[in-house]
Amino acid sequence: MTSEAIEYQYYQIKARFPDTDSSPDDGINRRVFVRQEIDEWSGKKSNKRQVDLFILALDKFQKLDPKERLSYFQVAGIHGQPFVRWDDPSPEPMKSGYCFHSHVIFPIWHRPYVLLFEQVVYDIMIQEVIPQFPEDHQASWRQHAESWRLPFWDWARKGRVPDLAKYPTITVPRPEGGSMRIDNPLFQFRMPTDRPMRSEGVGTENTWENDSEQEDYKNFGNAIGTSRWPDEEDQNPTSEGWRHGVVNNRKVADAFNAHEGYNDKNHGPAAEMVFRLLTVPMDYTTFASTNPTSKDQNVEQDLNIEYIHNNIHGWTGDAGHMGNVPVASFDPLFFLHHCNIDRLFAIWQALNPDKWLTNIPADNATIRDSYGKDHAVNGNTPLQPFRRDAEGDYWTPDGVRFTPNLGYAYPELPRWESKYRQEDGTLNQALFQENINTIINRLYGVSRDLALDPKTPPPKGVEAIDGGLRVTDFAFSVRFLKYAFGGRPFWVKLYLAQEDGVQTPLTDLIAEVYNFSQKPELDGLSVCGNCTKGQTLRIQSTAYIPITPVLYKLVRSGRKLTSLTRDEVLAYIRKRAYWRVFKASNLRRRPPSVHGKEVPRYEVEKLELEIIGSTNDTKHFENPAIPPSFENFQKEPTISGGADGALDPELKQPKIDPPAPRPKRPRANLPLHGSLRFPQTLKADSVILLESSSVDPVKPDVGIDMTQISIKDAANEIIFHISIRRRQGQIIFNAKIGGSWGQEERINIDGRFESEDGATILIHDQGDGFEVSIDWVHAIWFAKRAKERTPQSISYDLGAQEGTSTLSEDLEVRTYPSMKALFLQKHAHEEDQ
């Protein structure tokens, strides 16, 4: 080997085409293999070998060392945390995360991401799984692998997790014969090292909060396994449930189906959302993103694929991984979910083949890459970090525009079938689209089924027309500032009271919108450049909620609504509609239909929330090949409102005064093996207060016993170091300047850290030295070794990855500008108790 550097080998994401029956000359009409709905695919005996290959390969994928480029951990980490470069040899730190939300690139960027996941699983099938089987069986196994494509989870038809993901273990074949039970890789992902995710950088970037509530996702670093809908006691970051992951799939189903009016035909609200998405006319820019195309756009332009996607994350994850942007992709359902998002995107494209990246709003005209560079949004925008060739060129929007060119299609889109070919061999576009319309009407048309139900006469307000029916359709648009709460996720929930002036939220709930978002910065570092831009520009998020299916049910149940005539429905809604905002992922015990803690009205006002009632003239046709018609959209001011939470005074949210402002007390959680930058430079007389929720005074019999706290300067030099050593019965203080430790200073541990209920360590910078107090009792004064250096960060570890800490898993860190400020704050807090 020469002394020249070895050229970096990029991982190429490539299309896979069938060996036969495929002609590249056919372009997007070529024959390719199909991604199938996961329950239908796994339920067919003929697919058993494909299912076995998928589970075995995914199991091996998840067990790869997290430090490997093609490990499950690293591929999942592209979407958010740990915010490091992927397939990029550059040593330059990330200046922005890869993923795009609230942007027209949203569905485009996720297409090569899902393709990457599919390709890695396929590679493992071919290279690792199949070679384990007897040689005379391998050809058959390879044939099944070649035709395999990643299945999609159609949550709009089945509001529950897929059958393959229900249970913690699953049966797979042994290569040598027979079968065995293994941990189900679709049930949850577990770190293959059995160490918390923070060991690989997840959750170590903690935010300083000046209010009483901390960010929820900061504690995902403590998790070894992923969670879905963890119970209250399992959301404690130090609990065994949280560490190992809790999966409540029953609660996922409850969340999908907790909406009044959608349950009669086993359709959740997502079905009607998808129905409108694929049938209401719109351009690509409207379709792609929650970000509005203009400040005064029409209500039908509030409909988009991203808000539907966001709700699925909230319904699936809640306080677990899927409900939180930085860690959502660690849940194995993420890729099945996004495979379905890609499918809906592909279906919409087939119905709108000429619509693409045009009329882009100004705040979406560029994207910021991981180096902090802005790129114009067009067909050639680089989609980092997805490489299409060995030279390292990125995939582009034009390159991923059509799925057949990427080697796959969906069941609704078999362009190559002879029945869709005209005499000259070209695609019969009209016939092809008629078939798609038939499928959409059959699978998702909840309002259509209700209108055309032959068993029930149509209510007053539904008019017969040639070949179908016409009805006034009702909906709510929801608009709010996406980053008004600093990027925290939250729910906007809409209700219709069953009795005048009486709120019963569990049964009144008709719809909800999830703000699937993240903080643009963590610990002072940008992790989402486009989020930062969105926060600066105060971008809105939009959603469109059709409620006509709910009204049909109310009429037929006799709940004081006798018809679907416009005037009667408007009067009914005006008297009974109300809405509330809830913070996501709080720790209170609650049914799945109640998400988080209700946000008070003075906080809701920050959202600039708009609930806009609207109507349109809708036509449904008995011929399923004919799509519905939606015309004459108009806002209805009498059923529109804002932050007050209702139209009728009796249902409005009570207006309370905000609490008196308190002096800011910067704080953050510091996890074991984590680090934290201080929110500002700490000068002489400043105080660092560390609080531990527990103490373990027991001396370990073996192993390294060093609970270490290190104060560092801007150059990462340790200017002050505390090491608690139970086995030695001492606490050691030191500094490491210029790479060398100085003279140790020691005190006995006896009489200190004796209460298992917790401990407080106070470090007071006195200019020429640090005074340390333990539980408010003076312990030592340590002379500074480098007086010109100022504290910039703090770390907490064991000196080794194994062993136990004297202190709790997380330390609460507070800083104060002076000792006087600390005691004034402490006194004020005690008076409030």
User: Rounded distance, CA 75 to CA 66, Å?
Assistant: 9
| Nearest C-alpha neighbor of 579 from the set 548, 551, 553, 545 | 545
pLDDT on residue 518: 85
| Nearest C-alpha neighbor of 736 from the set 747, 723, 714, 720 | 720
Decide: 383 and 110 in contact? Cβ < 8 Å: no
Domain assignment of residue 580, given as a range: 433-651
**Is there a single domain that holds both residue 336 and residue 470?**
no
- Of the candidates 651, 679, 707, which is a domain's last residue? 651
User: pLDDT per residue over 245-274, tens digit each?
Assistant: 999 999 999 999 887 655 555 566 799 999
425 assigned to some structural domain: no
**Is there a single domain that holds both residue 250 and residue 364?**
yes
Taking residues 793-810, what's their average pLDDT? 84
Looking at residue 471, which CATH number applies to its domain?
Answer: 2.60.310.20
User: Of 26-40, 426-440, 475-489, 528-542, which range is least confident?
Assistant: 528-542
pLDDT > 70 in the chain, percent: 91
User: pLDDT per residue over 279-336, tens digit each?
Assistant: 999 999 999 999 998 888 999 999 999 999 999 999 999 889 999 999 999 999 999 9
Query: Which is higher by pLDDT, 667 or 166?
Result: 166
**Is there a single domain that holds both residue 749 and residue 621?**
no
User: Rounded distance, CA 148 to CA 36, Å?
Assistant: 9
Taking residues 109-133, what's their average pLDDT? 98
- Of the candidates 380, 395, 414, which is a domain's last residue? 380
- On the question of pLDDT at 171 being above 50, the answer is yes
Structural domains of the chain, count? 3
pLDDT > 90 in the chain, percent: 67
Residue 759 identity (one-letter amino acid): A
**Is there a single domain that holds both residue 620 and residue 546?**
yes
Distances (CA, A) of 360 to 110, 284, 285, 304, 501: 19, 9, 6, 15, 44
320 assigned to some structural domain: yes
pLDDT on residue 833: 44
Decide: 778 and 699 in contact? Cβ < 8 Å: no
Packed helices 429-444 and 269-279: angle between N→C axes, nearest 10 degrees: 160
User: pLDDT per residue over 714-743, tens digit each?
Assistant: 888 999 999 999 989 999 999 999 889 999
**Is there a single domain that holds both residue 241 and residue 311?**
yes
pLDDT grade, residue 23 (50/70/90)?
A: low
User: pLDDT per residue over 382-417, tens digit each?
Assistant: 999 999 999 999 999 999 999 999 999 999 999 999
pLDDT on residue 488: 86
Residue 27 region by backbone torsions, left for phi larger than 0, else alpha for psi between -120 and 50, else beta: left
User: Of 61-65, 76-80, 505-509, which range is least confident?
Assistant: 505-509
pLDDT on residue 4: 43
**pTM of structure:** 0.85
A 10 A CB-CB count for 517 gives 26
Taking residues 424-433, what's their average pLDDT? 93
User: pLDDT per residue over 573-625, tens digit each?
Assistant: 999 999 999 987 543 334 444 456 899 999 999 999 999 999 999 999 999 99
User: Of 94-98, 262-266, 273-277, 681-685, which range is least confident?
Assistant: 262-266
pLDDT on residue 5: 47
503 Cβ partners below 8 Å, 6+ apart?
A: 495, 497, 578, 651
User: Of 484-498, 749-763, 779-793, 812-826, which range is least confident?
Assistant: 812-826
pLDDT on residue 666: 60
User: Rounded distance, CA 387 to CA 112, Å?
Assistant: 9
A 10 A CB-CB count for 116 gives 22
**Is there a single domain that holds both residue 625 and residue 691?**
no
Beta strands per DSSP E along 416-526: 462-465, 468-481, 490-496, 509-515, 521-522, 525-526
pLDDT grade, residue 158 (50/70/90)?
A: confident
Taking residues 229-233, what's their average pLDDT? 86
134 assigned to some structural domain: yes
User: Rounded distance, CA 153 to CA 156, Å?
Assistant: 9
User: Rounded distance, CA 686 to CA 711, Å?
Assistant: 13
pLDDT on residue 672: 85
| Nearest C-alpha neighbor of 446 from the set 279, 304, 592, 561 | 279
Looking at residue 680, which CATH number applies to its domain?
Answer: 2.60.120.200
Residue 102 region by backbone torsions, left for phi larger than 0, else alpha for psi between -120 and 50, else beta: left
3 assigned to some structural domain: no
pLDDT on residue 827: 57
- CA geometry: angle 507, 511, 513, nearest 5 deg: 135
398 assigned to some structural domain: no
Looking at residue 195, which CATH number applies to its domain?
Answer: 1.10.1280.10
- On the question of pLDDT at 218 being above 60, the answer is no
pLDDT on residue 215: 42
**What is the distance between the terminal CA atoms of the chain, rounded to a whole angstrom?**
71
Structure tokens at 333: 């359902």
Say if strands 667-671 and 810-816 run parallel, antiparallel, or are unpaired: antiparallel
- On the question of pLDDT at 420 being above 60, the answer is yes
- On the question of pLDDT at 831 being above 50, the answer is no
**Is there a single domain that holds both residue 469 and residue 366?**
no
**Is there a single domain that holds both residue 604 and residue 679?**
no
pLDDT on residue 24: 60
pLDDT on residue 369: 87
- On the question of pLDDT at 513 being above 70, the answer is yes
- Of the candidates 651, 675, 693, which is a domain's last residue? 651
Q: Give me the residues paired with residue 367 across strands.
A: 375
pLDDT grade, residue 524 (50/70/90)?
A: low
User: Rounded distance, CA 182 to CA 174, Å?
Assistant: 11
pLDDT on residue 780: 96
DSSP H/E element including 449: helix 446-452
Mean pLDDT of the chain: 89
- On the question of pLDDT at 525 being above 50, the answer is yes
Taking residues 566-577, what's their average pLDDT? 96
- On the question of pLDDT at 211 being above 70, the answer is no
**Is there a single domain that holds both residue 586 and residue 719?**
no
Taking residues 420-447, what's their average pLDDT? 94
Q: Give me the residues paired with residue 541 across strands.
A: 480
208 assigned to some structural domain: no
- On the question of pLDDT at 818 being above 50, the answer is yes
- On the question of pLDDT at 776 being above 70, the answer is yes
Distances (CA, A) of 36 to 51, 447, 625, 729: 12, 26, 22, 63
Q: Give me the residues paired with residue 580 across strands.
A: 493
Structure tokens at 697: 């005074």
Q: Give me the residues paired with residue 376 across strands.
A: 366
- On the question of pLDDT at 451 being above 80, the answer is yes
pLDDT grade, residue 8 (50/70/90)?
A: very high
474 assigned to some structural domain: yes
Query: Which is higher by pLDDT, 366 or 410?
Result: 410
**Is there a single domain that holds both residue 619 and residue 733?**
no
**Is there a single domain that holds both residue 570 and residue 717?**
no
**Is there a single domain that holds both residue 175 and residue 257?**
yes
Query: Which is higher by pLDDT, 709 or 537?
Result: 709
Decide: 404 and 395 in contact? Cβ < 8 Å: no
Decide: 722 and 806 in contact? Cβ < 8 Å: no
pLDDT on residue 832: 44
Query: Which is higher by pLDDT, 572 or 703?
Result: 572
796 assigned to some structural domain: yes
Structure tokens at 560: 């004081």
242 Cβ partners below 8 Å, 6+ apart?
A: 219, 222, 223, 227, 230, 234, 235, 236
